[in-house]
Chain A
Amino acid sequence: MSGFTPDRVRDRWATSQMILGVAFFLLTAAFFRAQVLGFQDYRLQSEKNRLRQVPLMAPRGAILDRNERIIADNEPGYTVKLFSPSVDSMRAVLARFRSVAPLDSAEVETIVRRFEGAKYQPALVISGAKFEVVSRLEEHRYLLPGLVIQTEPRRIYRSRAAVAHLVGYVAEVTEDELVKDRYSGARMGSLVGRDGLEQQYDSVLRGVDGVRYTEVDARGRMVREEVSSPSLAPIAGNVIKTTIDLGVQEFVDSMWSAALPGTKGALVAMTPDGQILALYSAPTFDPNLFIGGIESNAWNALNTDPAKPLLNRAIRGTYPPASPFKLATAVMALRKGVVTFDSHMPEPCRGGFQYGNRYFHCWKKEGHGSLDLTGAIAASCDVYFYQLGLRLGLPSLLEDGTTLGFGDRSGVDLGSEQRPSYPENTEYFNRRYGARGWSNAATLNLAIGQGENSQSLMNMMRFYAALAGDGTVGPPYLVKARAAAKPRSLGLTPTQILGLRMAMVKVVEHGTAAASGGKELNVAGKTGTAQNATGKNHGWFIGYAPADHPKIVVGAIMESLGGHGGAYVAPYVVQVIRRYLAAMDPSLAKAKVKVPILEDSVAAPTVIPGDTGRP
């Protein structure tokens, strides 16, 4: 064949060599581009392929009481998570998962949503799983590719329901909260504080989650842990020390659940300088229910309960302040200088007071006669305070009341405190009723703590703490006072404060001639019965002791008590006072307590006999 002459073959041989050279050069260049120039990018992709981040939950800081007793801490718990390459395979594995451990379809949807939110991380399936569940899952691991079981710290509140409203609880952060960056540093699956101290001090308590890298195969199954990539150790949250006295807190809970089952209300105990010793709201709930995700029927039960156990009545409930507010009227009158302790009002009490075309009753039908301020405070005489209010005048009553803080939150270091309602000025009445729609009679109502006035227990406590102390008090606090909240001053001289205190215990001293032998504990305080538009009357009692040198202020509100009102509440407050003081001075455990229980039910001061059994 003519094509195979030596020179033609040599030509084609040379051409072939050239073609081979070019082809190999191109291939080598392609590899050079990928392996040498693109190395970093592909290396990263390869890592992303095979390494999955497993977040390591940081242990949350403990919450301690003032004596370093533990209110909240952690115990080891199991967390079950799943890796998956795709949503479909996640669903398939979850379907098998359900044959091993219970999961309802709503939970499955939640898990799939978590997975879609962070595909390269394992999705949380169960947090705080029980040991039996974990061991069943381990047995069926071959069915469940991508299964990760971690031991993770699990929150525990050993005082259970006693501290529910105080500490709140923790729960997984929601997508909405993440979008709004409500909790800075929180990520999908992070546990954040809800309610109470857990929420208020979340940023202190939470700590920083760590990361561990786990190698997975192409089907998302875990192959081995902690490969070459370093893992990031979690940083534990900080411990917070509170002003709470856990002994008192638990005492309140056991007292309430034993003696007052079904009674709704709240109790707050604090020192005169605003350190909260106990904060309790009834009915309560077990915050441990929320740990690891609350079961839906438990959640529904809590939410639909008409008694609203989730409501913190100490800061969220507002009530007409009733008689305890008379002290506020007295403070306003004294600082304005319109009365002294000896001042009598023009009209003596004959069981009522005619104002315009209306007749305003005193709670005591027989009347108190002519009283000075001291006597009127001791007897809680309505007629005297009607006239005192008129002497102050409505604008002054509103302005000074606002200055004393009745229009503002107490500023306690807890979230979602309800703002009390107290009119700032007469404009309020004009707006609400029209310029001619109201009369000066509003003055009379306000002067005795009724009318357009609604206070939370915490805010009233702040006022009484000032009375029990030196006349000035900052916001109440559990950990530390809010820097932004200014201290409030009553604007009285020490002598005037002393006079008010004396007035509050005067009846007691008069009523009980000789508290024969033994030690005595004088409690100064004020009962109150607040009308309830929707049911039976609410009862108040706010008191402090020892009356001459107060160490503790305790106040309580109980809802829908009916006739007895404040007189019913007082003995429980006294028990708490005694429990606290007896811890410091055991002799007080058996002391006779003198406490002014007035108004509606018992006119005379009542002497509560000393406790015999309990310390």
Chain B
Amino acid sequence: MRREGLDRALILVVILLTGFGILMVYSAGQTDVPTLARGAWMRQLAWVGLGVISAAIVFRVNFRLLEWAAPGLYTLGLLLLVVVLLVGTGAGSAAHSKSWLSVGGVRIGQPVELAKLGTILLLARYLSSLRDPPSTLRALLMPGLIAGVPLLLVMAQPDLGSAIVFLGILFSMLFWAGVAPRLLLLLASPAVSLLLAADTRWWGAWMFLLFVLLVIWRAYVAEGVLIYIVNAAMGVLAIIIWNRMKPYQQQRLITFIRPESDPIRSGYQAIQSKVAIGSGGLFGSGLLNGPQKRLAFLPEQYTDFIFAVLGEELGFAGVVVALGLFLALFLIILRIARRATDPFSSLVVFGVLGLFFTHLFENVGMTINVMPITGIPLPFFSYGGSFVLAASLAIGLVLRVAWDSRQSGYADV
């Protein structure tokens, strides 16, 4: 009876993705020059084992209990983020930021992954407790705070990649809660303004468009004015923020726009990653045989840039298979979110979707230079214990929601 309540499609896709991922971590370790990646696949396997156990435990937890515990988990996540800011250490692809929590010199994890789950849970709890979906900017203040606090804490590490993930979670969950897309757009407008501030002409055009949109959508006058002022302020702030950025962050942004501008240092990763993927062609150079990877031209080949190894060795065909599996996973999670028994469960599942999707889009986009290099892991592929655990917990949550809905009779038609 219980077996029938399990979402087999989800389990199958997750197993395929995890197996594919471990295979790639193994391949990433097969280099002609010794790298840290050599034995990583065995450690990854151990983490996956641990992940299965945690997922099984989470699966057994009642969602009402989770809903009750959400504020506690969220607060714990925030606390750890603060601790990390005070005593954190850098490592791996984030060597210069304080993202690792270490006890007695042993790195035990990146608390940001826990904070992401905590934020999903608390946002789900808050949003599901509302009578109607937020329809004003003021109503968005609370969810903005829930996601904004951890966002600012990770920005302080600094970890731009995870900050973007919090934004992804916030926007996807607001959308799923029923917030009108135009409101989301207005909410996002300061960020657009920030990005376009680099070029006065674009920024001017954006401000004009914003004005037109505010008029068409007939926003409250106070809110409209506020948004307009914030957007204008962002245009000014952008300069200040740029000046206060760490040089490597500035460099990363410049490198994103023009990787060739610095082919030896920050542009190196972007160029080598794209060269690896491009040289893979239709069918790739064969598993284990990617020259860029073998000869260590590819940086962080078993963590952030593992997808470049896949692209080089398995070619476009491999990329399509991997992306296809991800799409399947996302569609399954989306279906589960739709069929969830209650808004809280549904929002949690959609939050997990937002988390995975942001990670995937950012990571894979970065390897092919359509997103800036930020250094966040690719779910199921990148080596790294904290994220494997977080992803397993998330899958455990989704499985539970699927089970609950099947138990309540929402079976496949």
Contact = CB atoms under 8 A, between A and B. Distances in A.
A146 to B, nearest CB: 13
B133 A46 contact: no
A62 B277 CA distance: 50
A471 to B, nearest CB: 73
Nearest to A4: B343
B392 interface: no
B275 interface: yes
A587 interface: no
Contacts of B279: 39, 42-43, 45-46
Interface string B119-161: 0000000011111110000000000000000000000000000
Ranked nearest first, the 10 interchain pairs of A and B with the lowest CB-CB distance are: A42-B278, A3-B178, A46-B279, A3-B133, A35-B316, A217-B295, A218-B296, A34-B278, A39-B281, A42-B279
A118 interface: no
A50 B24 CA distance: 22
B281 A12 contact: no
Given A3-B133, A32-B316, A49-B292, A41 B278 contact: yes
Main secondary structure of the interface of A (DSSP, over half): helix
B291 A27 contact: no
Contacts of A426: none
Interface residues of A, number: 42
A42 B285 CA distance: 13
B282 A36 contact: yes
Contacts of B175: 12, 15-16
Contacts of B130: 1
A291 to B, nearest CB: 36
Contacts of B278: 34-35, 38-39, 41-43, 45-46
Interface in B309-332: 311, 315-316, 319-320, 323, 326-327, 330-331
Interface residues of B, number: 52
Nearest to B337: A13
Nearest to A42: B278
Contact of B327 (A4, A20, A43): A20
Given A1-B343, A17-B334, A27-B364, A49 B275 contact: yes
Contacts of A224: 32
Nearest to A24: B327
Interface string B335-370: 101100001001000000100010001001100101
B306 interface: no
B393 to A, nearest CB: 22
Given A3-B177, A223-B32, A13 B334 contact: yes
Interface in A24-69: 24, 26-28, 30-32, 34-36, 38-39, 41-43, 45-46, 49-50
A216 B295 contact: yes
B346 A31 contact: no
A43 B346 CA distance: 46
B166 interface: no
A35 B277 contact: yes
Interface of A: 1-4, 8-10, 12-13, 15-17, 20, 23-24, 26-28, 30-32, 34-36, 38-39, 41-43, 45-46, 49-50, 86, 215-219, 221, 223-224
A86 B357 CA distance: 40
Contact of A35 (B133, B297, B315, B335): B315
A219 B176 contact: no
Nearest to A227: B291
B346 A4 contact: yes
Nearest to B292: A46
12 contacts: A1-B130, A1-B131, A4-B178, A8-B178, A23-B361, A30-B368, A31-B368, A50-B291, A50-B292, A50-B297, A217-B33, A221-B33
A341 B278 CA distance: 92
A218 B130 CA distance: 56
A213 to B, nearest CB: 12
A2 B133 contact: yes
A30 B370 contact: yes
B198 to A, nearest CB: 23
B156 to A, nearest CB: 29
B296 A217 contact: yes
Give the most central of A10, A13, A24: most B CB within 10 Å. A24
Give the most central of A23, A34, A38: most B CB within 10 Å. A34
B338 A35 contact: no
